[in-house]
Amino acid sequence: MLEIQNLCVEVNQKKIIRDLTLSLRQGEIHVVMGPNGVGKSTLSQVLAGHPAYRVTEGKILFKGKDLTTMSPEERSFGGLFVSFQHPMEIAGISNLQFLQAIYNAKRKKLNLPKMGEKEFLPILKEKMTLVGMKEEFIKRNMNEGFSGGEKKRNEVLQMALLDPMFCVLDELDSGLDIDALKTLAHAVNFLKRADMTYLLITHYSRILNYIKPDFVHVMMGGKIVKTGDLSLADELEKRGYDWLI
């Protein structure tokens, strides 16, 4: 599904990802863990297609195609979904307008007719129930004044509406209380079809109490330095990251 080979990335002339290699097959759940500032979010930005993050070496193949030559919307139409660690606030655009627009953009790509508000609202409300979001958030401006946890729910709501194949979830667990974490982890598990691939990014293992990964990778100094199973996450919880330097 996703093949990253010897990837190097820089932002503002600063090298952040160095020689990162990672391979994710269809159906698998991978977790990338690592201390602050090692380049985890940089990886998610590169996958999303953020223009400030420049691939200087290496390859990213998504379903066999060169991801780096695809625009962010082509990536999304191709089934890639990236939830951000710090979701954007967009003043003047209601959540409903935004969510209906992304839903209809996907429908247009599938040659389906545009869906009006009346038809869209029941679909939206069903997904909002899944992520534990109250109806008042439909009319609020996109992420404006949302708490950290509310922003994360809104990210998973977008994921539920877009029906992606490959999901990158960057620190879904940060800023969430235990109940919100349980709800969102349940939603993420519920949305996981057998043919979908997940890449979770986190620096705490607590989300792994709810979402069970097939592989755990440790990222340090801009590359993957160790790969294991869930027991590696337990070991990191006990010993921290320093022993891997």
Strands (E), 37-140: 53-62, 65-66, 80-83, 90-94
Q: Could you give the CA distance from residue 42 to residue 53 in angstroms, rounded to a whole number? A: 7
Q: Could you give the CA distance from residue 217 to residue 204 in angstroms, rounded to a whole number? A: 13
Residue 36 partner contact from Mg ion, ligand ADP, none using kind-dependent CB cut-offs of 5 to 8 Å: ligand ADP
CB of 4 to ligand ADP, least distance (A): 15
Q: Is 64 left (phi over 0), alpha (psi -120 to 50) or beta?
A: left
Q: Could you give the CA distance from residue 43 to residue 87 in angstroms, rounded to a whole number? A: 16
Does position 231 bind ligand ADP by CB under 6 A? no
| Nearest CA-CA partner of 85 in 175, 14, 24 | 175
CB of 56 to ligand ADP, least distance (A): 14
- Tell me which stretch binds ligand ADP (CB under 6 A): 29-37, 95-103, 175-183, 206-214: 29-37
- Hey, what are 212's tokens? 């069970």
The contact mask relative to Mg ion for 158-197 (x = CB under 5 A, - = no) is: ----------------------------------------
In the bound state with ligand ADP, the residue whose beta carbon lies nearer, of 34 and 79, is 34
Q: Could you give the CA distance from residue 151 to residue 166 in angstroms, rounded to a whole number? A: 20
Q: Could you give the CA distance from residue 80 to residue 132 in angstroms, rounded to a whole number? A: 23
Residue 11 partner contact from ligand ADP, Mg ion, none using kind-dependent CB cut-offs of 5 to 8 Å: ligand ADP
Q: Which of 6, 15, 26, 37 binds ligand ADP (CB under 6 A)?
A: 37
Does position 52 bind ligand ADP by CB under 6 A? yes
CB 29 within 8 A of CB 198: yes
CB of 44 to Mg ion, least distance (A): 8
Does position 36 bind ligand ADP by CB under 6 A? yes
Does position 34 bind ligand ADP by CB under 6 A? yes
User: Which stretches of the chain bind Mg ion, using CB under 5 A?
Assistant: 40-41, 85
User: Which stretches of the chain bind ligand ADP, using CB under 6 A?
Assistant: 11-12, 14, 16, 34, 36-42, 52
